[in-house]
C-alpha cells in the first residue's frame, strides 16, 4: 500500500465556508471577442458557448482559512473516510448534475481547478456550472466502459461497439465517439477475434483517457532527504483522472459491494471482502432490530 501512496504528490484546498453559486457571473474571456473586435455583447457570447454561462461557483466572501487535504488519502478528508469507501473519481462521476449536487461535492473536496477569471468580480475565479457538468459527463461514460470490461458485460459493450460491414473499421460510441480503421492500428486489430467488443472498448478507453492525462506530469520531490520521483496533477480534475488511470491499470482494485452495489477499493484486501465496513455494520444493526421486534 505504501508503495502506491508514494507515486503521486498532490494537495488541494477547500475554503472553510465553502462556495456559493454566482447567478450573474461573467468570465473575463467573454467580455471581448477573441479577435479584438472590442467589447462583446455578453449574453450573446454566452449563448454561443455554454461554458461562459452563469451560474459560476465562487468562494464565499466570509472565508477565513483554507483546509488542505490529499485527494489520494481518504484519511485526510473531512470527516475522514474508511479505506474501503469509494475513491474520489467514483464519487465525482456519481455527483448529481444539479447546482445542489455539484455544490455538495465542491464544499467537501474543493473545486476542480479549471476556473475562469470573472469580469464582475475582479481578481476572483469562478467555475461554471456547465464546465462542471461537462467534466462529469466526460468521465462518467468512460467509467461505465471500464466497469463493463472488468465485469465481462458483453451485452452492454455490444450496444456501444459497432463493426463496419467490411470488418476493417469499428466505431465506439458512449459519451464520445471514436472511429478507427484497421490501417491505423494494424497490429492491434490483428489480435482481436472477429466481431470482438473487448478490444475496441479498451482502445476507446485508452484514446479517451490519454487525452485527459495532460495535466499530470512527473516531478522530483524531497522524501526523507532523498530525491524521489512522483506524479503531480495540476489540479483536482487531473488528480481524479489520475485515480481513474490507476484503477484501469490495476494499481488499485475495485469490487462492487454486495449490499450497496457501489464500487469499493479492495486493493490489498482479502479475497472474501465483499461488502463495505459501513454497509455490514448497518446490516447488522438492522437485523438486530428485526430480531428484537
Ligand atoms: Zn456498500
Helix (H) / strand (E) containing 93: helix 88-93
Determine the distance separating the centroid of ligand 1 and the alpha carbon of 72, expressed in angstroms.
20
pLDDT of residue 35: 67
Determine the distance separating the centroid of ligand 1 and the alpha carbon of 258, expressed in angstroms.
7
Distances (CA, A) of 271 to 252, 253, 254, 268: 14, 11, 11, 9
- pLDDT tens for each residue of 254-269: 888 889 888 888 888 8
pLDDT of residue 5: 45
Determine the distance separating the centroid of ligand 1 and the alpha carbon of 24, expressed in angstroms.
40
Q: Which residue has the higher pLDDT, 84 or 215?
A: 215
pTM of structure: 0.87
pLDDT at residue 133 greater than cutoff 70:
yes
Report the side by side order of strands in the sheet with 19-22.
19-22, 56-59, 125-128, 116-117
User: Cβ contacts of residue 86 below 8 Å, gap of 6+?
Assistant: 94, 262, 263, 264, 265
For CA atoms 44, 45, 48, 53, give the dihedral sign: negative
Determine the distance separating the centroid of ligand 1 and the alpha carbon of 286, expressed in angstroms.
14
Can you tell me the distance from the alpha carbon of 278 to that of 286, in angstroms, rounded to the nearest whole number? 12
User: Cβ contacts of residue 147 below 8 Å, gap of 6+?
Assistant: 153, 263
Distances (CA, A) of 186 to 4, 189, 240: 34, 5, 32
Can you tell me the distance from the alpha carbon of 175 to that of 145, in angstroms, rounded to the nearest whole number? 10
Q: Which residue has the higher pLDDT, 88 or 292?
A: 88
What is the band of 30 on the pLDDT scale with cuts at 50, 70, 90?
confident
Determine the distance separating the centroid of ligand 1 and the alpha carbon of 264, expressed in angstroms.
7
Can you tell me the distance from the alpha carbon of 52 to that of 26, in angstroms, rounded to the nearest whole number? 7
Distances (CA, A) of 252 to 58, 74, 245: 33, 14, 9
Determine the distance separating the centroid of ligand 1 and the alpha carbon of 84, expressed in angstroms.
9
Decide if 271 contacts 284 (C-beta within 8 A): no
pLDDT at residue 56 greater than cutoff 50:
yes
Q: Which residue has the higher pLDDT, 41 or 174?
A: 174
pLDDT at residue 3 greater than cutoff 50:
no
For 23, list phi and psi in degrees, rounded to 5: -75, -15
Determine the distance separating the centroid of ligand 1 and the alpha carbon of 42, expressed in angstroms.
46
Tell me the Cα Rg of the chain. Answer: 22
What's the grid cell of residue 203? 482502445
Amino acid at each position: 500500500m505504501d508503495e502506491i501512496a508514494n507515486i503521486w504528490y498532490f494537495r488541494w484546498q477547500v475554503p472553510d465556508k465553502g462556495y456559493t453559486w454566482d447567478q450573474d457571473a461573467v468570465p473575463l474571456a467573454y467580455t471581448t471577442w477573441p479577435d479584438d473586435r472590442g467589447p462583446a455583447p455578453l449574453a450573446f457570447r454566452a449563448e454561443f458557448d455554454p461554458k461562459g454561462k452563469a451560474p459560476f461557483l465562487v468562494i464565499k466572501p466570509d472565508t477565513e482559512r483554507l483546509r488542505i487535504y490529499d485527494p489520494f488519502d481518504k484519511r485526510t478528508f473531512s470527516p475522514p473516510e474508511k479505506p474501503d469507501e469509494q475513491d474520489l473519481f467514483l464519487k465525482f462521476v456519481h455527483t448529481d448534475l444539479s447546482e445542489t449536487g455539484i455544490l455538495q461535492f465542491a464544499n467537501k473536496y474543493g473545486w476542480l481547478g479549471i476556473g475562469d477569471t470573472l469580469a464582475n468580480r475582479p481578481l476572483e475565479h469562478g467555475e461554471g456550472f456547465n464546465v462542471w457538468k461537462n467534466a462529469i459527463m466526460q468521465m462518467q461514460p468512460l467509467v461505465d466502459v471500464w466497469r463493463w470490461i472488468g465485469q465481462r458485460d458483453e451485452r452492454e459493450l455490444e450496444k456501444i461497439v459497432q463493426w463496419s460491414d467490411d470488418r476493417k473499421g469499428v466505431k465506439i460510441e458512449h459519451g464520445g465517439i471514436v472511429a478507427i480503421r484497421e490501417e491505423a492500428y494494424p497490429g492491434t486489430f490483428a489480435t482481436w477475434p472477429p466481431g470482438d467488443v473487448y478490444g475496441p472498448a479498451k482502445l476507446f478507453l485508452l484514446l479517451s483517457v490519454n487525452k485527459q492525462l495532460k495535466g499530470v506530469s512527473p516531478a522530483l520531490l524531497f522524501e526523507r532527504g532523498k530525491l524521489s520521483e512522483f506524479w503531480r496533477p495540476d489540479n483536482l480534475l487531473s488528480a481524479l483522472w489520475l485515480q481513474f488511470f490507476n484503477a484501469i491499470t490495476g494499481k488499485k482494485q475495485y469490487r462492487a459491494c454486495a449490499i450497496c452495489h457501489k464500487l469499493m477499493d479492495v486493493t490489498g484486501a482479502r479475497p472474501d471482502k465483499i461488502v463495505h465496513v459501513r454497509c455490514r455494520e448497518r446490516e447488522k444493526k438492522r437485523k438486530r432490530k428485526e430480531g428484537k421486534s
